[in-house]
Structure 1
Amino acid sequence: MNFKIIMQKLLGFYFNLLSFVYPKKLKKDGFLLFCNPFARKVKPHQLEFLQKGMSEVLDLEGFQIQTYKWGSGSKKILLIHGWSSHSFRWKNYIEHLLKNDFTVYALDAPAHGLSSGKSIHVVLYAKVIDAFLKMNSEISFIISHSIGGFATTYFLDHYKTHNLEKVVIMGAPGEASDFFDFYKQTLGLTTKSLQLIIDEFHAQLGKTPSYFSSARFAESITIPALIVHDKNDLATNYNYSIRLNKHWKNSELILTEGLGHDLKSKELIKKVTDFIKN
């Protein structure tokens, strides 16, 4: 048994003990764990690239959100990164989009990159997207990845005052409840412990995990979407994107092979750009 597994089991034992002796603390700590991305720090070579596009800091609900802007093309696009990531993940996309007459915007989610905070969830991420689009109403397109794609789908269902014309959803999860199943299995949580954490989730977000379903959100969305997923994605199952495509009336689906969760290739970048442009 390696060190990581030992730590996971110890944390699970701690949570299970709290469920009996201090359930209120379990609720708080369990919810924070669920929302903690344990994001990687920005490396020097990444910072060098990001600094070229560094723009204003958005202050939202106590979070300082670092935003970026590259270029001055006629088409305006916002890039939304995923879990435990930051805006540098879009470097190859940014460079290609700049060559195709785009002004490229990006932002680091709360608790990611150069933004402040220690936690993130879909409702908060959608608020950030909404606030940024209200500040930059000329933006017509979004490309999103992973949890950023889930947040974008939630945003489009819950916020209607925007000028978006097309969106791209890449490698996105489909159900919040899956994260709880993952933590229960990984940490060895008891049913009682898990239920206490779910209760706190409901108290904080006003909905149970089962409410947060990308397929449900997609049913109200009418703008065109390109949905992309890799069949070898080990982080999120591509069947979620097949289902999302069925529920999103005006959507196209691309299933790749061999690109994994990152979905980075020159060919795919071109396909995504062509979808946005045409």
Structure 2
Amino acid sequence: MNFKKIMQKSMGFYFNFLSFVNPKKLKKDGFELFCNPFARKVKPHQLEFLQKGISDVLDLEGYQIQTYKWGSGSKHILLVHGWASHSFRWKNYIEHLIKNDFTVYALDAPAHGLSSGKSIHVVLYAKVINAFLELHSEIKSIVSHSIGGFATTYFLDQYKEHTIEKVVIMGAPGEASDFFDFYKETLGLTTKSLNLIIDEFYSQLGKLPSYFSSAKFAESIMVPALIVHDKNDLATNYYYSIRLNKHWKNSELILTEGLGHDLKSKELVKQVTEFVLN
């Protein structure tokens, strides 16, 4: 057993122990672990690129959200990154979109990049997206990746007064319940421990994990969507994008091979840009 697995099992043992001696602390610590992205720090070469854009900070409910703007084209687009990532992941998109008459915006989610905070969940991420778009109603398109895609789908379902006309969802998970299944298996949590953490989830978000299903959210969305997923994605199963495509009335699906979860290729950048333009 490697060191990482030993740490995971030790964490699980600790949580299972807490479920008997201090359930209240288990709820708090378990929920915080669930929402902690353990995000990577922004590296110097990444910061150098990001600083080429116009930097600004959005204050929202105690969070300082780092935002960026590049270019001055007539079309406006927002890029929404995924779990444990930040705005630099869009470098190739930013450079290509600027050449195609776009003004490009990006933001770092709470607890990611240069934004403040220690945790993130779909409800908070959607709230950030909505707050930013309220300030920038000229934005008509969103390109999103991973948990950012899940949050974008939730945003479009929950916030009806938006100005978005095109959306791209890339490599997105489909069910919040899956994250709990993953933690239960990885950490070796007992059913009692898991249920206590789910109780805290409900207390914090007002809904059970089963409520957060991208396919259910998609049924109310009329915005045209391009859904992209790789068949070799080890982080999120491409089955979810097939299902999302079936439930999202006005959507088309691209299944790639060999790009993994990152979904980075020059060809895909062109396909995404063409979809947003047409």
For 1:1-278, list aligned pairs within 5 A.
1-278=1-278
TM-score by length of 2: 1.00
Equivalent-residue separation in structure 1 for 2:11 and 2:223 (angstroms)? 43
TM-score by length of 1: 1.00
Kindly state the Cα deviation for residue 54 of structure 1 after the two structures are TM-superposed: 3.8
1:110 partner SS = coil
Counterpart residue identity of residue 5, structure 1 = K
Equivalent-residue separation in structure 2 for 1:229 and 1:98 (angstroms)? 24
Counterpart residue identity of residue 212, structure 2 = F
RMSD value, Cα: 0.4
Equivalent-residue separation in structure 2 for 1:61 and 1:241 (angstroms)? 32
What CA deviation, in whole Å up to 9, does each residue of 1:221-255 have, x standing for no partner? 00100000000000000000000000000000000
Counterpart residue identity of residue 270, structure 2 = K
1:207 partner SS = coil
Equivalent-residue separation in structure 1 for 2:14 and 2:59 (angstroms)? 35
2:232 partner SS = coil
Kindly state the Cα deviation for residue 80 of structure 1 after the two structures are TM-superposed: 0.1
Kindly state the Cα deviation for residue 55 of structure 1 after the two structures are TM-superposed: 2.1
Counterpart residue identity of residue 246, structure 2 = K
Can you give the 5+ residue segments of structure 1 that lack an aligned partner in the other structure? Answer: none
Kindly state the Cα deviation for residue 75 of structure 1 after the two structures are TM-superposed: 0.4
Q: Which moved more, 1:48-57 or 1:197-206?
A: 48-57
2:126 partner SS = helix
The number of residue pairs the alignment matches comes to: 278
1:156 partner SS = helix
2:254 partner SS = strand
Can you give the 5+ residue segments of structure 2 that lack an aligned partner in the other structure? Answer: none
Runs of 4+ in 1 over 3 A off after TM superposition: none
Counterpart residue identity of residue 37, structure 1 = P
Equivalent-residue separation in structure 2 for 1:153 and 1:118 (angstroms)? 23
Kindly state the Cα deviation for residue 24 of structure 1 after the two structures are TM-superposed: 0.1
1:168 partner SS = strand
Kindly state the Cα deviation for residue 70 of structure 1 after the two structures are TM-superposed: 0.1
What CA deviation, in whole Å up to 9, does each residue of 1:88-135 have, x standing for no partner? 000000000000000000000000000000000000000000000000
